[in-house]
């Protein structure tokens, strides 16, 4: 099974699985911008950026996908970065729609107490490709089937 991938910049690094059993293809930093510059031209001279505690940035990978209908991409954090530095993805898992052809971006946030430097080429997230039922449609009805749980949720069964 194949998914087509395109480099949007010559310095972009193709996502790769680190082991044959890895769920995710690691995503590499091409450059980083603030939230309001998502569509700015790539910064050829980017080397690194420091994320202060509490700050967020958009890391761009320079990679675009051609997912087929029936697929979605999810971008997820890397546990090592999260544990060591408190760096995670603000919107994890970020959704990559099948019809999206733009740069795969990662919204990094520093939840740690120290500034963290993120360098070009660094692996800061991972892409997992999952099945999605694109044919599925929502249909409105008046009454839902009863269940044992009913409307119970948010811990109603106790700890
Ligand atoms: O972490 C992310 C999240 C989204 N995207 C891209 C792919 C996705 O298909 C598109 C839209 O994402 P989403 O649906 O989460 O954003 P939205 O805020 O609902 O924006 P839109 O109105 O463009 O759908 O942005 C990323 O590259 N990285």
pLDDT tens profile 72-109: 999 999 999 999 999 999 999 999 999 999 999 999 99
Does ipTM surpass 0.90 in this model?
Answer: yes
Ligand 1 centroid from CA 97, angstroms = 7
pTM of this prediction?
0.95
Ligand 1 centroid from CA 49, angstroms = 23
* Domain-embedded: residue 38: yes
Rounded Cα distance, 57 and 60, in Å: 10
Domain count along the chain: 1
Ligand 1, closest atom to CA 105?
Answer: 27
Structural domain of 84: 24-131
First CA to last CA across the chain, in angstroms?
42
Q: Which residue is associated with the tokens 């107490």?
A: 113
Rounded Cα distance, 61 and 63, in Å: 5
Q: Whose CA is nearest to atom 8 of ligand 1?
A: 96
Q: Which residue is associated with the tokens 């910049």?
A: 9
- Whichever domain contains 123, its CATH number is 2.70.40.10
* Domain-embedded: residue 136: no
Residue 104 phi/psi, 5° resolution?
-75, 115
* Domain-embedded: residue 100: yes
* Domain-embedded: residue 111: yes
């Amino acid at each position: 099974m194949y998914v087509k991938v395109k480099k949007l910049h010559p310095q972009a690094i193709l996502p790769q699985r680190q082991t044959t059993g890895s769920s995710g293809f690691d995503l590499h930093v091409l450059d980083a911008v603030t939230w309001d510059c998502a569509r700015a031209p790539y910064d050829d001279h980017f080397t690194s950026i420091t994320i202060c505690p509490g700050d967020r940035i958009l890391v761009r990978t320079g990679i675009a996908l051609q997912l087929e209908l029936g697929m979605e991409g999810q971008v997820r954090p890397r546990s090592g970065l999260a544990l060591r530095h408190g760096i995670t993805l603000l919107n994890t898992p970020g959704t990559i729609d099948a019809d999206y052809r733009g740069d795969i971006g990662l919204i990094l946030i520093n939840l740690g107490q120290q500034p963290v430097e993120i360098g070009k080429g660094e692996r800061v997230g991972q892409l997992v490709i999952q099945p999605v039922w694109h044919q599925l449609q929502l249909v409105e009805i008046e009454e839902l089937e009863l269940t044992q749980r009913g409307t119970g949720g948010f811990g109603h069964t106790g700890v």
